[in-house]
Structure 1
Amino acid sequence: MAKWDNMLSMLWMLRSGRKLTAAQIADDLEISVRTVYRYIDALGASGVPVVAESGHDGGIRILDSFKEAPLFFNSVELKALVDAFKFAQGAGYPYTEELEGALKKIENGLHEEQRCDLSSQTSGLDVISPVRPPSGVLLLRDLEQAAKEGRTVCIAYRKENAGQAGERKVDPYGLAYDRNDWYVVAFCHQSQAMRTFRVDRIARLEPTEARFEKPEHFSASAYFRDQSKREREADGPLTVIRIAGEPDTLNAVCRHWHLRHYLTERTDREARFLLDVPTMNKYLPMYLMTFGTAIHIREPLELKRQIQEMACKIAKHYEDNPD
């Protein structure tokens, strides 16, 4: 464990209010007693009132005047915070500037050794961000604020392949980030039903004076899962689908917008799904055909048979029509 991590652990041990001997601390942290006393000196130099009392009832403790400890993070926690910022920035998170400011405050409170260690630990990970218009950040903030306040908004929304954006009023319930895009789940006044809208297709947003009440315990991610279940062809019977392949290929299979909700088990070389038979028969043969010989259907046999028949029909089609 790094020096600063050990010092942090010792500080939290002492904050319990108990007197601890140097030997107890050394045993817990698996360091020498001599090192414990070096850490006491270092903490004292940092402004932490650590005292070591000798005698039968002596020990190491923190003075009662130390009401609140400064905010400390170990090296892995600091790395995780910086890496999380990179992912948030890559996703187009609308508060990346504020998050970056918070990280700067944390970094300013680090010792030079910690800053160097943090720089070396975080230099090996980058997130390549897709190009997003600056207006997307404002839209996300406005939508989140409207959801928080329960305020109806008027949006100009452009459907896929539509030439012009259409006006509609919606009650935004929540935001979700899915497959590299932001979505708002909202009640649409025009269709009188719940709908999902891709935020990058919203050309304009204007708040109204109308108010709404969001359903209790609403979750955008739960709504996406429920929608996927509703799009199944039938309620049953269910069948286990086992697909084998290389890790990268299985990643692509498991990322499918619909199939991913039915993943029950995943290893490096195999993925298992639980899906109703009618939905499997309607969608999976054609979808899994696109992976060619990169995957192997282990079960059910019916799915393997359907893919075999489809492959034979395609082969025969080109045999009969060579030109």
Structure 2
Amino acid sequence: MAKWDNMLSMLWMLRSGRKLTAAQIAESLEISVRTVYRYIDALGASGVPVVAESGHDGGISILESFKETPLFFSSVELKALVEAFKFAQGAGYPYTEELESALAKVENGLHEEQRHDLSLQTGGLDVITPARPPSVVPLLRDLEQAEKDRRTIRIAYRKANAEQADEREINPYGLAYDRNEWYAVAFCHRSQAVRTFRVDRIERLEPTEASFEKPERFSAAAFFRDQSEQKREAYGPLTVIRIEGEPDTLNALCAHWHLRHYLTERTDREARFLLDVPTMNKYLPMYLMSFGTGICIREPLELKHRIREMAYEIAKHYQNDSD
């Protein structure tokens, strides 16, 4: 364990309020008693009021007035914070500037050795940021604020392939980040139903004087799952679908907007889904055929045989083609 991780562990032990001997700390951290005293000196130099009392009732403790400010993080926790910021930035998270500022405050409280170690640990990971319109960030902020204030908003929304945007009023219930895109899940006054709106297609947004009540315990993620459920053919018996393939091919298969909701288990070479039989029979054979020999159906035999029949029918069709 690194020096600063050991010091952090010792600090947490002492924060319990109990007096501990140097031998007890050394045994717990699997270090020497001499190292314990070096750590005590280092903590003291950092402003932590560590008290070492000798005698029968003596021991090492921290003054009750000590407050955990600034926060103390282990090296792995610091690494996680920095790399989480990279992912948030790559996703277009609307508060990356504030997150970066908070991270800078944490890093400013580190010792030089900690900063150097953090740089070494986080220098190997980068997140490639996709190109997004600059307007997405303020839109995300406005949508989130409208949801918080329960304020109906008016938007100019341009659907895919539409020549111009049309106006509608919506009650924003939440935001979701899905397949590298931001979506607003909202009640649409025009359609009188909950709909999803891709944020990058919102050309204008303005608040209205109207307010709304958000459904209790509404979840944007649950709404996406429910939408996928509605695409099911029927609520027939469920069956396990087991598919083998190369990792990249399985990645594409599992990323399917509908099928991914039924993924139950995934390894590098196999994916398992749980889906009702009617939906499987109607949608999966043709979709899975698009992967050609890149995948192999292991279960159920019914699906495997159906794909074999379809492949034979296609081969027979072109075999009889006179051109």
Tell me which residue corresponds to 1:9. 9
Structure 1 distance, partners of 2:38, 2:30, is 15
Tell me which residue corresponds to 2:198. 198
Structure 2 distance, partners of 1:196, 1:61, is 56
Structure 2 distance, partners of 1:64, 1:164, is 65
Cα RMSD after superposing both structures: 1.2
Structure 2 distance, partners of 1:240, 1:7, is 50
The alignment partner of 2:317 has SS state of helix
Percent identity for Structure 1 against Structure 2: 83
Tell me which residue corresponds to 1:23. 23
Letter in 1 for 2:217: H
- Aligned-pair CA distance for 1:322: 6.5
Tell me which residue corresponds to 1:156. 156
The alignment partner of 2:130 has SS state of coil
**Do the aligned residues in 1 keep the contact of 2:250 with 2:269 (CA within 8 Å)?**
yes
Tell me which residue corresponds to 1:282. 282
1:174 aligns with 2:160: no
Structure 2 distance, partners of 1:149, 1:322, is 68
Gaps of 5+ in 1: none
Cα deviation, 1:117-151, whole Å, max 9, x if unaligned, reads 00010011000110011100010000000011100
Letter in 2 for 1:236: G
Q: What number of residue pairs does the alignment pair up? A: 323
Letter in 2 for 1:19: K
1:245 aligns with 2:245: yes
The alignment partner of 1:281 has SS state of helix
Tell me which residue corresponds to 2:117. 117
Structure 1 distance, partners of 2:68, 2:125, is 34
- Aligned-pair CA distance for 1:263: 1.1
Cα deviation, 1:184-237, whole Å, max 9, x if unaligned, reads 110000000111111111111111110000011111001111111122110112
Please report the TM-score for the alignment, with normalisation by the length of structure 1. Answer: 0.97
Gaps of 5+ in 2: none
The alignment partner of 1:18 has SS state of coil
Structure 2 distance, partners of 1:248, 1:3, is 40
Tell me which residue corresponds to 2:140. 140
Structure 2 distance, partners of 1:114, 1:322, is 74
Letter in 2 for 1:213: E
Cα deviation, 1:57-79, whole Å, max 9, x if unaligned, reads 11001122324443011100000
Letter in 2 for 1:195: R
The alignment partner of 2:169 has SS state of strand
Cα deviation, 1:262-295, whole Å, max 9, x if unaligned, reads 1112222221111111211121111111111111
The alignment partner of 1:243 has SS state of strand
- Aligned-pair CA distance for 1:51: 1.4
The alignment partner of 1:316 has SS state of helix
